[in-house]
């Protein structure tokens, strides 16, 4: 496969789900701008992401977001040396908007195009946060669509050690938030409510806790939430909402932290890191920091903006992905079901 080197500034695009994002980074890895247009307000009224609506919103915003990212970086199209774009996994219509916008800009300036796996992007947020973090490290990627434990041996070598067998942790947070009437997506609101509650008030199941593997499962805890609330009166639901949220959050976070630390110890890694939208959870951040450090691990916890979907993480990952030379990428395809470690190139 043909690869090229490049220099100057890179424009990165991310449109895999419901955030339209663009960022500008130098080839040395300095982040110059990162712009995120969230579509939460649009999808709120449907209670979830509507793929066709998301694609249209990306199409309307893509050029605006690119312009804003360039302006914020005090750069123009002429300063670009490469364009990076998320090619998957994600919603196919949403991905296509980013991929075609990226191709068009790269082609117009005869620049190389760097296809990036969104999951590698979440890992990229970790080395963007702490470029000197030692390898190997154990990464927990927790978002609305993914929950994975990954051994990271270099900027390009990743091994999937365990993952959820059913719902993603973010999905479990969002569904519980919905049952509690906290709105959409709800993970953040559940987290805020949980801060005011007693985490020991209710007992929620922690699936696969004793299992001799690194997989996770969140369908049981979600069902337990449904039955607990079903058996309460409307008044009780209001009165105990904070305690219910705190107990539920504690169970989900315990499942994540215990498997992350168990994996890190058995893999004898130097450090641990978290990424993805659920890594914005305050209890998860706090427990990973204190318990990780107590066990002697180097701990990387990215800022909130780098946890939820953004293009800065795509740029950070793109520094280590293959740049395809002009104009070989014109037949590059967006891929909805890309897995960790998978890389797509033109003509794939
Ligand atoms: O990474 P992300 O922005 O998009 C996906 O790739 O899915 O993650 C979104 C998920 C949603 O489920 C959202 O509720 C959750 O991250 N989330 C949180 C928090 N902030 C966002 N979950 C728990 N606590 C939070 N503070
Ligand atoms: Zn994501």
pTM over 0.85: yes
What is the mean pLDDT of the segment spanning 44-51?
86
Mean pLDDT of 90-100: 97
Please, are residues 207 and 216 in contact by the beta-carbon 8 Å criterion? yes
Predicted confidence (pLDDT) per residue in 270-329, tens digit:
999 999 999 999 999 999 999 999 999 999 999 999 999 999 999 999 999 999 999 999
Distance 313 CA to ligand 2 centre (A): 10
Packing angle, helices 187-194 and 282-294, rounded to 10 = 70
Q: Indicate whether residue 174 lines ligand 1 (CB < 6 A).
A: yes
Q: Is the pLDDT of residue 348 over 50?
A: no
**pLDDT tens-digit profile of 137-157?**
999 999 999 999 999 999 999
Mutate which of 308, 312, 313, 340 for ligand 1 pocket (most atoms within 8 A of beta carbon): 308
- From the number of C-beta atoms within 10 Å of its C-beta (0-12, 13-18, 19+), residue 212 rates as exposed
Ligand number, closest to the Cα atom of 280: 1
Confidence at 347, pLDDT banded by 50, 70, 90 = low
Average pLDDT over residues 171-195: 96
Could you tell me if 47 and 184 are in contact, meaning their C-beta atoms sit under 8 angstroms apart?
Answer: yes
Q: What distance in Å separates the CA atoms of residue 324 and residue 333, rounded to the nearest whole number? A: 13
Encode pLDDT of 64-87 as tens digits: 999 999 999 999 999 999 999 999
Domains of the chain: 9-122+308-331 (3.30.420.40), 134-306 (3.30.420.40)
Residue 129 has pLDDT above 80, yes or no: yes
What's the mean pLDDT in 166-172?
97
The confidence score (pLDDT) of residue 2 equals 56
Q: In this structure, what are the phi and psi dihedrals at residue 323, rounded to the nearest 5 degrees?
A: -90, 125
């Amino acid at each position: 496969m043909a690869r090229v080197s490049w220099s100057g500034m890179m424009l990165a695009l991310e449109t895999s789900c419901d955030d339209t994002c663009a960022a500008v980074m130098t080839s040395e890895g300095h982040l110059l701008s990162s712009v995120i247009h969230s579509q939460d307000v649009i999808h709120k009224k449907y209670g979830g992401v509507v793929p066709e609506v998301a694609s249209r919103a990306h199409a309307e915003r893509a050029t605006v977001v690119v312009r804003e990212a360039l302006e914020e970086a005090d750069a123009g199209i002429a300063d670009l040396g490469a364009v990076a774009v998320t090619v998957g996994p994600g919603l196919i219509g949403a991905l296509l908007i980013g991929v075609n916008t990226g191709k068009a800009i790269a082609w117009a300036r005869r620049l190389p195009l760097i296809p990036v796996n969104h999951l590698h992007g979440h890992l990229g947020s970790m080395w963007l946060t702490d470029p000197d973090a030692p390898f190997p490290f154990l990464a927990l990627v927790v978002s609305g669509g993914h929950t994975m434990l990954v051994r990271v041996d270099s900027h390009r070598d990743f091994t999937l050690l365990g993952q959820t067998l059913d719902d993603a942790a973010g999905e479990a947070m969002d569904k519980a938030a919905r049952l509690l009437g906290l709105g959409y997506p709800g993970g953040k609101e559940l987290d805020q409510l949980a801060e005011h509650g007693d985490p020991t008030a209710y007992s929620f199941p922690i699936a696969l806790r004793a299992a001799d593997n690194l997989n996770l499962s969140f369908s049981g805890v979600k069902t337990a939430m449904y039955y607990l609330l079903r058996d309460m009166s409307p008044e009780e639901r209001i009165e105990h909402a904070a305690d219910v949220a705190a107990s539920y959050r504690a169970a989900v976070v315990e499942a994540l932290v215990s498997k992350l630390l168990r994996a890190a110890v058995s893999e004898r890694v130097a450090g641990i890191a978290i990424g993805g939208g659920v890594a914005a959870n305050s209890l998860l951040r706090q427990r990973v920091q204190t318990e990780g450090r107590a066990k002697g691990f180097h701990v990387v916890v990215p800022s909130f903006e780098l946890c939820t979907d953004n293009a800065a993480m795509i740029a950070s990952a793109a520094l280590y992905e293959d740049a395809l030379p002009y104009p070989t990428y014109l037949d590059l395809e967006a891929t909805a079901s890309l897995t960790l470690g998978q890389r797509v190139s033109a003509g794939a």
